[in-house]
């Protein structure tokens, strides 16, 4: 009995001790954990991004104003293969500046040659998109930036490993110091830097912009002028219903999601649920984000699955009304466009190629 009591009180004592340790640990975490979390507020020289002709002001999140230092860091990170498991794939592997920030493939190749499920979209003018990814699953560029790094069929590296790898590099430690005030490498800092760099990837001042917004009425060919008229005519091409133009600028996307019938299988089912995966709204089945048409002449192949190889095949696809399925967007209808009309539309699309800004390619070694 006594023995039992002693055991009991010993156990009580042990329990109290465990509780005490737990409380102490939590207290320590509260005090030092928070205090130790490095600031993710960008420091350095503020940068105001001046959009080229044909583009509106770049939307900037209040907690990530771009600075020279974060942009330089983001650029280096964008071309950094250490962000992949075997040090071979950078963001630029699929968003290659030589292909106007796409990879020229129908579906992208990720870690170990794994084939992705969707076509790599251009990053040009990505700063204006209200949601990121084909299905809009990221709410902003900061949220988007780190996702492919950890994706097993993309760069396949946990964020912890990425942070550790970068922290071993004195060049990065110095860059993080300049950009955020301490040498600490954090996921939030990586995301913010990448996003700030991506906000500089602007394409405007194309032949179309000089014609439409610059008053140069001779810059487009007659075929391109005819193509523009078809593009905006709701009774003809009706392209601008989703690839929108404004009186003062043109993003060529409404930022919304539409089912155009791409990816309908032989049995009539939709191969990729697209936006539905996020919203679970039935009408979103097979709907994907309207891509920008900026520099579209250089970003073949097309559509979320890269199934259409040429601009002509894209225009033909729409001329035929796409592929029927129960969730087809109401703006999709068979339209009569002659061969000439379709050629003119392709010519117009060729006028949307703007200059890619300087200082967005791979950084020099010593930079």
Partner 1 sequence: MVLKIRKLALLCIAPAILATGCSRKNETAPSGPPLSQNTVSYFKVDPSTAASITGTVHYNGKPTPRKPIDISEDPACVEAHHGKPYDESVMVSRKGELANAFIYVKSGFEGKTFATPSEPVAIDQNGCWFRPRVLGIQTNQVLKVVNSDPVTHNIHPMAEVNRAWNHSQGAGDPPLNRKFTKSEIMIPVKCNIHGWMRAYIGVLDHPYFAVSKEDGTFTISNLPPGTYTLAIWQEKLGTQEQQITISPRQHAVVDFNYKGK
Contact footprint for partner 1 (CB under 8 A): 11-12, 14-16, 18-19, 261, 264, 266, 268, 308-309, 312-313, 316-317, 319-324, 334, 336-340
Nearer to partner 1, 9 or 158 (CB): 9
- Supply the minimum distance, in Å, between the C-beta of residue 130 and partner 1: 29
Number of Cβ within 10 Å of residue 205's Cβ equals 17
Nearest of 345, 335, 30, 366 to residue 208 by alpha carbon:
345
Nearer to partner 1, 194 or 303 (CB): 303
Cis check: omega of the bond before 62, within 30 degrees of 0: no
- β-bridge mates for residue 270, sequence order: 264
- Supply the minimum distance, in Å, between the C-beta of residue 164 and partner 1: 31
Both tokens assigned to 46: 């503020």
d(Cα 71, Cα 74) in Å, to the nearest integer? 5
Nearer to partner 1, 16 or 168 (CB): 16
Both tokens assigned to 45: 């020289």
d(Cα 186, Cα 37) in Å, to the nearest integer? 9
d(Cα 17, Cα 19) in Å, to the nearest integer? 5
Nearer to partner 1, 292 or 323 (CB): 323
Nearer to partner 1, 211 or 318 (CB): 318
d(Cα 173, Cα 150) in Å, to the nearest integer? 22
In 3-state terms, what secondary structure has residue 247? coil
- Supply the minimum distance, in Å, between the C-beta of residue 261 and partner 1: 7
- Supply the minimum distance, in Å, between the C-beta of residue 324 and partner 1: 4
Residue 334: CA count within 13 A, CB half-sphere:
3
- Supply the minimum distance, in Å, between the C-beta of residue 323 and partner 1: 5
d(Cα 171, Cα 184) in Å, to the nearest integer? 12
- Supply the minimum distance, in Å, between the C-beta of residue 268 and partner 1: 7
Nearer to partner 1, 37 or 309 (CB): 309
């Amino acid at each position: 009995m006594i023995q039992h009591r002693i055991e009991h009180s010993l156990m009580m004592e042990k329990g109290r001790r465990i509780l005490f340790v737990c409380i102490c640990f939590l207290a320590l975490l509260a005090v030092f954990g928070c205090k130790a979390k490095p600031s993710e507020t960008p420091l350095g020289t503020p940068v105001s991004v001046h959009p080229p002709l044909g583009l509106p002001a770049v939307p900037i999140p209040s907690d990530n104003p771009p600075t020279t230092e974060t942009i330089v860091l983001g650029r280096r990170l964008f071309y950094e293969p250490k962000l992949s498991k075997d040090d071979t794939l950078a963001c630029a592997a699929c968003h290659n500046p030589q292909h106007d920030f796409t990879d020229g493939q129908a579906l992208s190749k990720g870690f170990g040659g794994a084939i992705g499920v969707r076509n790599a979209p251009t990053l040009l003018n990505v700063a204006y998109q209200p949601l990121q990814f084909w299905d809009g699953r990221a709410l902003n560029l900061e949220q988007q930036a780190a996702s492919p790094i950890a994706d097993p069929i993309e760069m396949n590296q946990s964020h912890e490993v990425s942070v550790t790898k970068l922290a071993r590099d004195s060049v990065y430690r110095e860059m993080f110091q300049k950009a955020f005030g301490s040498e600490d490498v954090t996921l939030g800092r990586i995301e913010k830097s990448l996003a700030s760099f991506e906000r500089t990837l602007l394409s405007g001042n194309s032949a179309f912009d000089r014609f439409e917004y610059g008053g140069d009425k001779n810059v487009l060919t007659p075929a391109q002028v005819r193509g523009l008229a078809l593009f905006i005519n709701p009774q003809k091409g009706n392209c601008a219903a989703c690839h929108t133009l404004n009186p003062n600028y043109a993003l060529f996307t409404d930022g919304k999601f539409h089912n155009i019938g791409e990816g309908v299988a032989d049995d009539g089912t939709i191969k990729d649920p697209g936006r539905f995966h996020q919203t679970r709204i039935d009408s979103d089945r097979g709907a994907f984000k309207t891509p920008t048409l900026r520099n579209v002449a250089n970003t073949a192949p097309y559509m979320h699955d890269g199934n259409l190889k040429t601009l002509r095949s894209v225009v033909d696809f729409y001329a035929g009304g796409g592929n029927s399925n129960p969730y087809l967007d109401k703006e999709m209808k068979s339209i009569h466009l002659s061969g000439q009309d379709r050629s003119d539309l392709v010519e117009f699309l060729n006028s949307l190629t703007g200059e890619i800004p300087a200082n967005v390619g791979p950084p020099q070694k010593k930079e």
